[in-house]
Amino acid sequence: MPRQPRILITVHGPAQEAVELPTWKTFSRYADAIKRAGAEPVLIDPQATAADRAKAFAEMDALLLPGGADLDPALYGQAAYPGTQVEPGRDELEQDAWAAARARGLPVLGVCRGMQAINAFSGGSLLQHVDGHDTPTWPSPDARPHPVRLVQDSRLAGILGLDGEGLIEVNSYHHQALRPDQLGSGLRVSGTTEDGELVEAFEASDPDTWIFGVQNHPERPEFTPPAFGRLWRAFVDAAATSGR
């Protein structure tokens, strides 16, 4: 029986974990989503040695960049907005993981911070703060929803099975974002806020490259349309055939 594809998931280190609210202390939801889709999650944090990183990068079949602390604005040439919380060690780890995945042509999925990281690593930039776009975390039991307008000919719309529909409602757990004019090289918009002002999803402009980013949190099934289960499966399917 062929082995399950290995999905490398970058996670925060102990210092960041110590200051996270309970909602974000673990990455179990991401690992669970990967398992449900039929792959093996492999977690790596900034404390990994150079040897550990090299081994993980060589053995991964795909890369998942999940949510977390703000990216260091220096990555896209800006001074920090007041209150910005960064994790430089994770920024460095994810830059290395991204470079390794791109060198091997592996699938990459970015979620929230991960989407923003892909954009920054591709030469794009961010809006460092958007009022009213975040959901209160602990102990709030609910997510703040808002509609996303999918680009009808995008691969994401096709994966979600919604290419005939304009809007899908998603959760909103972010205070940073990007405008269409801040998009990095090699990316195309696949979803925006209803007014078109902010990018809510993107994908590689090359149809043969499996890179997707979503600003919402599809690993939280209690607040996510079931259609996003198809995105996890498409990611794992792409990983199953990469680098083999």
Q: What is the pLDDT along the chain (244 residues), one digit of tens a residue?
A: 678 999 999 998 887 776 665 555 678 999 999 999 999 999 999 999 999 999 999 999 999 999 988 899 999 999 887 777 888 999 999 999 999 999 999 999 999 999 999 999 999 999 987 765 554 554 455 667 889 999 999 999 999 998 767 899 998 776 789 999 999 999 999 999 999 999 999 999 999 999 999 999 999 887 888 999 999 999 999 999 985 5
> 217 an active-site residue?
yes
Q: Is 41 among the domain residues?
A: yes
Read off the CATH number of the domain in which 202 is found. Answer: 3.40.50.880
From the list 12, 174, 175, 217, the catalytic residue is: 217
Specify the number of domains making up the chain. 1
From the list 87, 94, 112, 200, the catalytic residue is: 112
The pLDDT score that the predictor gives to residue 149 is 95
The pLDDT score that the predictor gives to residue 138 is 45
pTM: 0.92
Q: Is 193 among the domain residues?
A: yes
What share of the chain in percent tops pLDDT 70?
Answer: 89
Check: CB of residue 157 under 8 Å from CB of residue 202. no
Domain limits for position 90:
6-240
> 17 an active-site residue?
no
Q: Is 1 among the domain residues?
A: no
The pLDDT score that the predictor gives to residue 3 is 84
The pLDDT score that the predictor gives to residue 23 is 58
> 112 an active-site residue?
yes
From the list 87, 200, 203, 219, the catalytic residue is: 219
Per-residue model confidence as pLDDT tens digits over 63-93: 999 998 889 999 999 988 777 788 899 999 9
Q: Which residues contact 141 (CB under 8 A, 6 or more apart)?
A: none
Q: Is 197 among the domain residues?
A: yes
Is it true that the peptide bond before 82 is cis, omega within 30 degrees of 0?
A: no
- Phi/psi for 108 (5° steps) reads -135, 130
Q: Which residues contact 8 (CB under 8 A, 6 or more apart)?
A: 42, 44, 56, 57, 60, 62, 63, 64, 97
The pLDDT score that the predictor gives to residue 15 is 74
Other C-beta atoms closer than 10 Å to the C-beta of 209 total 15
